Structure 1
Amino acid sequence: MHILILGAAGMVGRKLLARLVKDGSLGGETISRLTLHDVVPPEAPPGTAIPVSLSASDFSDPGEAERLVAGRPDVIFHLAAIVSGEAEADFDKGYRINLDGTRRLYDAVRAIGEGYKPRFVFTSSVAVFGAPMPEPIPDEYLTAPLTSYGTQKAIGELLLSDYSRRGIFDGVGIRLPTICVRPGKPNKAASGFFSGIIREPLAGQEAVLPVSDQVRHWHASPRSAVGFLIHAATIDTKRLGDRRNLTMPGVGATVAEQIEALRRAAGDAAVARIRREPDPTIERIVAGWPRTFDARRALELGFQAEPDFDAIVRAHIEDELDGKVPA
């Protein structure tokens, strides 16, 4: 099995790669080749016997998508995107990467023609929903995003459904919750503070909280995100019918509940490292995001996430801090 990962240098991409290399197979088939792509050079996993091809480019440039799929990968994980805050700040870049690049990739698969029908896993986002919204948001609720990023992802979902209906590829779109706690350095996502107020205090550093403690949001750990991707790549898509895009399960938690989970894990000293500094731009963006979901369909199809935010904090401590809570 040949697997292509776009966005392989990103946090989720790296963790997905590590899982695939560890397992050595996907859906019962041995992985025979990996193609890793990102806008910055991805790194080959150390010590793997699986042949790995590395590529760095802007996949939205003419000809790049065609080059990436020329090897006819059996499974394509499309994780590459401009994140929410950057897509809102740079209109042209957001649409060029998140929409035009995705369309070029879809069409590159189509251009190969009959006899080639890969499994295509597209990472969408809960940002495809916009206020006003019920609580929880059911599977049948309309997508009406209030950000450019959400709009770009919603269009990608529609195209994925149509290209799957036409038999061009076998697509599954997964609407990821905000992935928390993200390890490493902060990115330009408007949602980055959700991870920052846990990650930085656990590392003995100050974190800035730009929104109210009462803001509620939908979360899942990086560990769960990898599980979503693996399951989407192996699920029997006949069970999906024509509804190819799914809201992933997660944990609905307020910022205050996040902070209390941090307190239970690491004590008052960690919580004291959170500094409140309101940011009207972030507050405006977050105010239009969904808060809780009834992800019943995904659960029934076997997708799994953490039961509560304490479990998300524990996953970060286990996976990134060797299971040890710093003093």
Structure 2
Amino acid sequence: MHVAIIGAAGMIGRKLAERIADTGKMGGASVDALTLIDVHAPNVAEHFAGTRTALAADLSNAGTIAGLIAQKPDVIVHLAAIVSSEAEADLEKGYRVNLDGTRALFEALRHAEGYTPRLIYASSLAVFGAPFPTRIPDDFQLTPQSSYGTQKAMGELLLDDYSRRGFLDGVGIRFPTICIRPGKPNKAASSFYSSILREPLNGQQAVLPVSEDVRHWFASPRAAVGFIEHGATLNSALLGARRSMTMPGVSATVADQIEALRVVAGDKAVALIRREHDPAIASIVESWPRDFDTARANQMGFRAETSFREIIEVYLEDEMDGQGPNAMRPVA
């Protein structure tokens, strides 16, 4: 199998490439070729045993897409995007990257006769906007209330239509907010969800810009990689006309996050969180969905964590060799 990852220098793309390099497989299928594309040359998966190609290229560039399609990868993972706050601040860039680049890729596949790859499209919970029920079902309408959400919703509709016409074999994955993200905060409005845990676990202060009763939907980076791996070999006939699904996750309040941090790392870690209300961030995240019925994805075999403590422990295992600023307490 030949796997191409667009957006391979991002956190999820990097972790996916590293997992493929470590195991030589994706979704149980052997991988013998790996193509990594991002606007900055991806410096990941160098230990991959098969053929590896890393390119610094922009998906909105026609030459980039033509070169990729010429290789005819079996699976294309489309992770390239600019995040919510940046897409809201820069309308032109948001549509160019998040919509125009996606459509250009789909159009190139439409014209590639005899070639129909599995395409994993990274979508978002931002496709849903208020008013919505407390627990959003799988068949809830797409009602985005941000430019980013609108761009992702349009991508989902294109994925459905181009799959229906047989130009590609699409699987759309609506990722939960991924937590705890390693590294530094990004420009996403949701970035603080990771910061209030990651920084204290590393002995550093963090800022909480919203109230502790704000609830959201989460999964770990490990689960995110698992979603893509499973989607790569899923029997897409089971999806029917609706190619995108909300992935399973954990519904938790900020208070739930902080209490899980306390259980895992103690009061000293929690004391590193500083409350500084930010009305702009609060107004964005308080309008986001809070809980989901993901029976459809569950039935198709997608899996995630079931508690926030588990999410924190995944971070400690994957990023800190199982160690935090304080000795972990025994698992009950």
TM-score of the pair, normalised by structure 2? 0.96
Q: Conserved in 2, the CA contact under 8 Å of 1:220 and 1:305?
A: yes
Q: For the residues of structure 1 that align with 2:151 and 2:47, how far apart are their CA atoms?
A: 38
Cross-structure match for 1:94: 94
| 1:69-115 deviation digits (Å, cap 9, x = unpaired) | 221111000011001111111111111100001001111111212x1
Cross-structure match for 2:108: 108
Cross-structure match for 2:79: 79
- Specify the SS of the correspondent of 2:245: strand
Quote how far apart the aligned CAs of 1:67 are.
2.1
| 1:151-208 deviation digits (Å, cap 9, x = unpaired) | 0000000000000000001000010000000001111111000000000000011101
Cross-structure match for 1:22: 22
Q: For the residues of structure 2 that align with 1:103 and 1:233, how far apart are their CA atoms?
A: 20
| 1:224-283 deviation digits (Å, cap 9, x = unpaired) | 000000011110011111111100000000001100000001111101111111111111
Q: For the residues of structure 1 that align with 2:50 and 2:200, how far apart are their CA atoms?
A: 38
In structure 2, relative to structure 1, the CA distance for the partners of 1:68 and 1:144 (3 Å cut) is same
Q: For the residues of structure 1 that align with 2:286 and 2:316, how far apart are their CA atoms?
A: 29
Q: Conserved in 1, the CA contact under 8 Å of 2:218 and 2:251?
A: yes
Q: Root-mean-square deviation (CA), in Å?
A: 1.0
Q: For the residues of structure 2 that align with 1:205 and 1:26, how far apart are their CA atoms?
A: 36
Is 1:5 the counterpart of 2:8 in the alignment? no
Q: For the residues of structure 2 that align with 1:222 and 1:8, how far apart are their CA atoms?
A: 14
Cross-structure match for 2:65: 65
Is 1:299 the counterpart of 2:295 in the alignment? no
Return the letter of the residue paired with 1:106: F
Q: Conserved in 2, the CA contact under 8 Å of 1:81 and 1:97?
A: yes
Cross-structure match for 2:208: 209
TM-score of the pair, normalised by structure 1? 0.98
Q: For the residues of structure 2 that align with 1:284 and 1:314, how far apart are their CA atoms?
A: 30
Quote how far apart the aligned CAs of 1:30 are.
2.4
| 1:129-160 deviation digits (Å, cap 9, x = unpaired) | 00111011001111101111100000000000
Q: For the residues of structure 1 that align with 2:215 and 2:27, how far apart are their CA atoms?
A: 35
Return the letter of the residue paired with 1:199: R
Q: For the residues of structure 1 that align with 2:193 and 2:120, how far apart are their CA atoms?
A: 25
- Specify the SS of the correspondent of 1:152: helix
- Specify the SS of the correspondent of 2:111: helix
Is 1:192 the counterpart of 2:199 in the alignment? no
Cross-structure match for 2:144: 145
Q: Conserved in 2, the CA contact under 8 Å of 1:220 and 1:306?
A: yes
Q: Conserved in 1, the CA contact under 8 Å of 2:179 and 2:311?
A: yes
- Deviating more after overlay: 172-181 vs 54-63: 54-63
Runs of 5+ unmatched residues, structure 1: none
Q: For the residues of structure 2 that align with 1:30 and 1:141, how far apart are their CA atoms?
A: 36
Q: For the residues of structure 2 that align with 1:146 and 1:130, how far apart are their CA atoms?
A: 5
Cross-structure match for 2:41: 41
- Deviating more after overlay: 64-73 vs 182-191: 64-73
Q: Conserved in 1, the CA contact under 8 Å of 2:121 and 2:170?
A: yes
Cross-structure match for 1:275: 274
Identical positions, percent: 60
- Specify the SS of the correspondent of 2:66: helix
Runs of 5+ unmatched residues, structure 2: 327-332
Q: Conserved in 2, the CA contact under 8 Å of 1:44 and 1:52?
A: no
Cross-structure match for 1:121: 120
- Deviating more after overlay: 295-304 vs 43-52: 43-52
